[in-house]
Amino acid sequence: MISTPSRPALPVQIKLAVDERPAELEVTLVIPSDPPKLEEPTSTGEYLLSRKEGRNCLSVSLGKPDKINLETYRKAGGSIGKWLVNHPVKTVDLTTQWLYEKEKFDALNALLEGILLGAYQFHRYKQDHSTQSPITLFLRPKELSEGLEKVIERLIIMAQSVYLARDWAHEPANVINPISLAEWTQTLAVDNGLKCTILDETALAEIGAGGILAVGKGSQTPSRMIILEYQGDHSGSSPIVLAGKAITFDTGGYSLKDTTNIQGMKYDKCGGIAVIATLQAISQLKLPVNVVGIIGAAENMISSTAYRPDDILTTLSGKTVEVISTDAEGRLVLADVLTYAQKHYNPSAIVDLATLTGGVIVALGRVFGGIMGNSRELIQNLIQSGETTGERLWQLPLDEEYLQALKGDDADLKNSGGREGHAILGGIFLQQFVENDIPWAHIDIAGVASTPKDLPYIPKGPSGFGVRLLLEFLEKSKPV
């Protein structure tokens, strides 16, 4: 095993104030007047720096009062987090007292979440960057409460896991490949009390996992299947399986991507890494649920050994697939992952997370992830978790008529059915590898796994999408 790159402490440390002196900066939330006063911050996240009773005060707007929700607090928090890491400040007081009322803990949590996620930076490979000491953010309630301490504890664990997902997604393909990802995950498992099993190319060949092996054939670093197991419920309940696609780099293979679309393909591993980060979070929170994370890791390259269009593959399920496009590789990897999950774990539900199709970006842009599946209850629970966390999902259909486009000429299935309904075809392909009595949902995060520009609490680059959503979903799941 090799050690993972170390991540320093979160750039903002959150502490409950107990007899500390007033901090050098006061942060307060404001709701703009109607009509707004001169120089008053108005839109969500807009701020005004002023002097108040001998110290600096950062007043941050929540925007129009009739539009305020949890996402508003996250966006305001993101503005605060970005300001803090870009200014020479060491201590901060959060003085808005109504946030500390018990019925406002959700709003406080969302604000602090936005601060931590907005403060994220990735400078590992910048020689001229000097690491600054963490900023201490003091919470100043009039009375301390155990409930507030629990909010902070969960928040820190969640933020550290999102940071991990963003950090590993940032890593380029010359650092993270299927082998190094497996080794890093083994180290993470030891640190977090998780059981970790790695299936290498020999083990994958022995069980007949022809999909994931074919995708990685062209690379000098062969494929890996990474299995993480967490047992938080000891009643013998069936686990929820989280399946993740981790293509550490995707050239498209012989169906080669153009120069515009090939850059950024290091982010094609974001689904698998979100699963890894989620397992870290639930193990640290000690959730009373059994969860298995299975990550299919491969590198889709071109060489004399790479798989080709017209090749016919035999997947772990026994179903054969005619390759139409070598750039529709993620579904081949996930087909074997889904089959492995059902053969070995008798799952109570399966949720897969993947940057699967460009088609979902055409359909939904970069606001929603696409969700499809065979269980209305599971889909609705995931959608609701996304609404709570701000990682929003929109359901797409999986009507049987779409399957006609994937009927193979010389095999059971084709791995691509053209551009029409592209995201749906990716989902319905995966459905062919799920037994009907197992609740299953597929989340296509191709449009939301990374952002080409800064968002309120997501800096340009990988978002860590899915970690908070899955954590929220698992916290509310009941053992089966």
User: Catalytic site residues?
Assistant: 257, 331
372: left (phi over 0), alpha (psi -120 to 50) or beta: beta
Residue 71 token pair: 């996402």
- For residues 372 and 264, the answer to whether their CB atoms sit within 8 Å is no
- Listed in sequence order, the residues at least 6 apart from 356 whose beta carbon sits closer than 8 Å to its beta carbon are 245, 271, 330, 331, 334, 423, 426, 427, 442, 444, 446
Residue 320 token pair: 């054969």
Beta-carbon count within 10 A of 294 CB = 28
Whole-number Å distance between alpha carbons of 326 and 72? 42
Backbone angles phi, psi at 250, to 5 degrees: -125, 100
- Listed in sequence order, the residues at least 6 apart from 432 whose beta carbon sits closer than 8 Å to its beta carbon are 319, 335, 403, 406, 413
- For residues 184 and 176, the answer to whether their CB atoms sit within 8 Å is yes
Whole-number Å distance between alpha carbons of 398 and 222? 33
Whole-number Å distance between alpha carbons of 247 and 225? 11
Whole-number Å distance between alpha carbons of 318 and 309? 20
Pairing mode, strands 349-354 and 312-314: unpaired
Distance, first Cα to last Cα, the chain: 35
Around 253, how many Cα atoms within 13 Å sit in the side-chain half-sphere?
A: 25
